[in-house]
Structure 1
């Protein structure tokens, strides 16, 4: 029996139906913009009041309970938004992207020149108008308010994880959109505080930052290092923003997909003589997941490595967390482009058009090589009758 549904994000949903569609590629987009909470009671779940925060650590109220109750959050709207605003650049070829060509003999930078720009995924920030941005803010507030009715700590572990990953990524997209055009998200400040440290998110009366969600909630309570790939950082060099919203059913499989994509990309791993250069992401998360750094990293990468990266692991002896790319994961490269070079298609700059053309050529090369990995197929966790709420949980 299902409880009341919460209709969230209608403002952004209306805006996306007009500005987002050009970025959806060939994927089918469903028109619904409903986000609901199924089986939710009118107040916090019975038996979950034990999650009371000690004064010294307010984040302890989000500690997962050992006896979860079967509640579910539906992110149908966020899924719709992602499919309209995010374009996948496809699997990594492990080839450095060539420098973009000049535009009409101009030396003005149009779009991206990062060597990693044909990896991961890009967001179409240039397509987002004021209505869409205000809708993002409304949706973020709606996600926050879910916790006023539903005790997040009482949910099954996968439901909790999906909630925190989605809230983090929605909030980050909102702030980048508010400050766009910007070349690097790390340069954004909120009231003089860096974007990653600013506590502009509020859940159950607790002010928190993007870093707090990652480190004080998820990293503190989830032991599996694959959770690091679910947090989008808005940068080309980080894990890609997936085109599917995380849910309790798909979060484990989707994180495996994200991990495989990142580990086998140039922005994740490179051979440099006898050195294995890896992303600074691994250095940042080492205190939580890789305390015995070299051994732990090798074991983790080996779990997701393809044949080429497995070979690199065997032919390197020193690991260096040195790969970084802070440029924005934006289709237009964080720039509106020169007005006199504006493309004929609204929201599509010359830089974006160039990047899409390069992406198409990449897919043609993959096809010639017999590589058909243009899309990914993943299996959600299967629920069987009688399964406990935490069956198939990401630990």
Structure 2
């Protein structure tokens, strides 16, 4: 290991501008209720993600074979062999072929956008709030990619000044928000020390953190974000030891606001999740280069054109491999998305993400706010307290 007196050098490749948001948070979004029993239901989103996401398997440094042409043609697909196999995939192909399936995502998006109008977010726990914003962010990304798919490279789509991250695409509680507003104006402003949230922000391309097969919740938040961090850092799209140079994703450069002393903070962060046998490679590296990027959309096969007559690469073969009834490389099965349409679309948008008891409380709270103003505190009653309250109210009704 090199001595601490060695001068370490950081090289940032490409343009970079610090992200910021001047968003002023509503009072209802400030703070949290630590022991809140209110949770948001994501059954519909779980159903979609479980059906549409293909897991990539455990983190690996294995490179793909170089691109080659198939039988009867000299044409071939271009891809980055370092990163092409990394990260989970989403079945954008099916959304494109079946507009009703894309409409399911839009319906879920509308439902999530309605949540802040249904309940003051500060009545939720910190973890429940973070999970909500991550899910809303990811659903909006999927919904917006569905509109431009089969666009293969998402670089301009994501990073342009008028790209998907900066447009005010989200309408919630009477506010227009961008995805950057969610990341920097809400999440980073409220939770500046929660660096792991960046691994919950799926942006649709291979060089971004993976989409999960389930929605984030307050209960699974920490475990899921740590899993995603481990997956990202230990695959070639996140980091890559290369002699005296330690290469890292451009994703970190674009999220430098989470690492104030960029080189030191990022090195310390990577050590927490990097494979033990690779930590010395990070420590001994004299140069940290943020040059790993793969902007390819995380579809399964749709933007990889088929040239020539290779039977094993046709759509039917791939559909059979990834759909229900078959598996590929030991991955989890992906069910037929057509099976979920009626169930998911039937979900109620208004108060559909809370239990019956919670809905009643939310309605009462909203009524009190609209008619009397002031601050309303949600208190969960025990069964005994609820029974006593109901008995008392029944007695009052009889007296009348």
Task: State the distance in 2 between where 1:273 and 1:111 align.
Answer: 26
Aligned partner of 1:122 among 81, 89, 103: 89
Q: How far off is 1:272 after superposition?
A: 2.5
- Find the residue that maps to 2:40 and give its secondary structure: strand
Q: Which residue of 2 aligns with 1:203?
A: 172
1:331 and 2:300 correspond: yes
Higher relative contact order (CA 8 A, sep 6+): 2
Q: Which residue of 2 aligns with 1:79?
A: 46
Q: Which residue of 1 aligns with 2:253?
A: 283
Aligned partner of 2:218 among 248, 262, 271: 248
Task: State the distance in 2 between where 1:316 and 1:293 align.
Answer: 15
Output the aligned Cα RMSD: 3.2
TM-score if structure 1 supplies the norm length? Answer: 0.69
Task: State the distance in 1 between where 2:320 and 2:127 align.
Answer: 39
Task: State the distance in 1 between where 2:79 and 2:301 align.
Answer: 7
Q: How far off is 1:337 after superposition?
A: 4.7
Conserved 8 A contact 2:80-2:294:
no
Task: State the distance in 2 between where 1:151 and 1:361 align.
Answer: 43
1:111-140 per-position Cα deviation (integer Å, ceiling 9, x unaligned): 855531221111111112100011111110
- Find the residue that maps to 1:194 and give its secondary structure: coil
Task: State the distance in 2 between where 1:347 and 1:209 align.
Answer: 36
Q: How far off is 1:293 after superposition?
A: 1.4
Q: Which residue of 2 aligns with 1:345?
A: 316
**5+ residue gaps in structure 1?**
1-55, 364-388, 390-395
Task: State the distance in 1 between where 2:126 and 2:306 align.
Answer: 44
Q: How far off is 1:265 after superposition?
A: 1.2
Q: Which residue of 2 aligns with 1:310?
A: 279
Q: Which residue of 2 aligns with 1:34?
A: none
Task: State the distance in 1 between where 2:58 and 2:72 align.
Answer: 32
1:224 and 2:194 correspond: yes
TM-score if structure 2 supplies the norm length? Answer: 0.68
Q: How far off is 1:231 after superposition?
A: 0.3
Conserved 8 A contact 1:79-1:245:
yes
Q: Which residue of 2 aligns with 1:4?
A: none
Q: How far off is 1:344 after superposition?
A: 5.6
Task: State the distance in 2 between where 1:332 and 1:253 align.
Answer: 30
Alignment of 1:100-119 (within 5 A): 100-109=67-76, 114-119=81-86
Task: State the distance in 2 between where 1:136 and 1:276 align.
Answer: 39
1:59 and 2:25 correspond: yes
Alignment of 1:1-395 (within 5 A): 57-61=23-27, 63-68=29-34, 69-109=36-76, 114-128=81-95, 129-188=98-157, 193-222=162-191, 223-287=193-257, 289-332=258-301, 334-335=303-304, 337=306, 343=314, 345=316, 348=319, 360=329
Task: State the distance in 2 between where 1:122 and 1:187 align.
Answer: 20
Task: State the distance in 1 between where 2:231 and 2:108 align.
Answer: 28
Conserved 8 A contact 2:23-2:185:
no
Q: Identify if the C-alpha distance between structure 1 residues 156 and 217 changes in structure 2 by more than 3 Å, giving closer, same or farther.
A: same
1:193-251 per-position Cα deviation (integer Å, ceiling 9, x unaligned): 32221111111111111121111111222212111100001011111111121011001
Conserved 8 A contact 1:89-1:120:
yes
Task: State the distance in 2 between where 1:321 and 1:312 align.
Answer: 16
Q: How far off is 1:168 after superposition?
A: 0.6
More deviation in 66-75 or 261-270?
A: 66-75
Instruction: Number of aligned residue pairs: give it.
Output: 303
Conserved 8 A contact 2:54-2:88:
yes
More deviation in 341-350 or 313-322?
A: 341-350
Q: How far off is 1:148 after superposition?
A: 1.2
Task: State the distance in 2 between where 1:349 and 1:237 align.
Answer: 27
1:78-128 per-position Cα deviation (integer Å, ceiling 9, x unaligned): 111111111011123212211244222324445855531221111111112
Q: How far off is 1:338 after superposition?
A: 6.5
Task: State the distance in 1 between where 2:119 and 2:308 align.
Answer: 48
